[in-house]
Homo-oligomer: A and B are copies of this chain.
């Protein structure tokens, strides 16, 4: 149970102030007073508090054009708290060091040999910076449960304790999240999906997963294994052992290039390519229908190579969705593509780290 006393109140307010600045960027003390509903004097005390601890920086106010004394601007000091984020993929490992406030301070990508262990690549790519960071978060494409990757089509893992293995390889603790949920968090917090109250992010890598963010919070229990929704009972055998999984039925498409080739061919009048795209869109739409009925999102983002598929086959996706969901669920559903692109998972993973940091302050 949480510690109590009046100090708790102070901690809560300090954390709330820092969170406000981290999420909404630099603000004046006057704006903070409004946003947090606290008194001017209290905001002043909190701000100097956090400035002394090095988390914030106060710059003397510039005139806003309107009357009155200009308010001092308060902003996060990025290097005051950094989070190391990595995204593990089948053939590469990506790394970003993100500072408080959301600024990306470093960024690297490293290819991966077929037989190399990604954990070693993480150790190399993060180098010394992982130790400096206050939190380290790894995004893994698949079903993650308490640091353990229960299932990952892309990496071929089942039951691998990624948290422990990363710690062994790098010498520090890691938080493990799934790529789709991370990307959903990223698009919600730093993309343009902030209005969504139930955001479903579809991640197309070697496997298909989805992440759900409800009112800005990652859905407990991790990602949705979109690729293992059964769209055709008794259909093609999937690597997971089930029959008729979406992933198995759509196997013809597994990478962005496949879609690009097919789109180009379809544009040149290749009827077979057009048909492949149409059927893939239809399969996706059907699986999506079940997920939409079960979760009721108000926004869906097509990420990874699903972005290309959606852009090439929006019509079949939409019509299959229309055939498998109730009108009311469709009526407030927006289908879009993400704005952070390949950065989404890294940014979202970092946000998961910052959320932990701020929670710990309370």
- Residue positions of A touching B, CB distance < 8 A: 1-4, 6, 8-9, 13, 35-39, 42, 143, 145, 150-151, 158-159, 197-198, 214-215, 220-222, 224-225, 228-230, 233, 240-243, 286, 289-291, 293-296, 323-329
Contact = CB atoms under 8 A, between A and B. Distances in A.
Contacts of A2: 37
A249 to B, nearest CB: 12
A73 to B, nearest CB: 21
Contacts of A243: 323
Contacts of A242: 323-326
Contacts of A8: 9
A61 to B, nearest CB: 23
A143 B286 CA distance: 21
Closest 10 CB pairs of A and B: A1-B37, A290-B290, A294-B294, A150-B328, A230-B324, A221-B296, A291-B294, A224-B294, A228-B326, A229-B293
Contacts of A143: 326, 328-329
Nearest to A286: B233
Of A36, A214, A222, A233, the most chain B CB neighbours within 10 A belong to A233
Nearest to A9: B9
Contacts of A289: 230
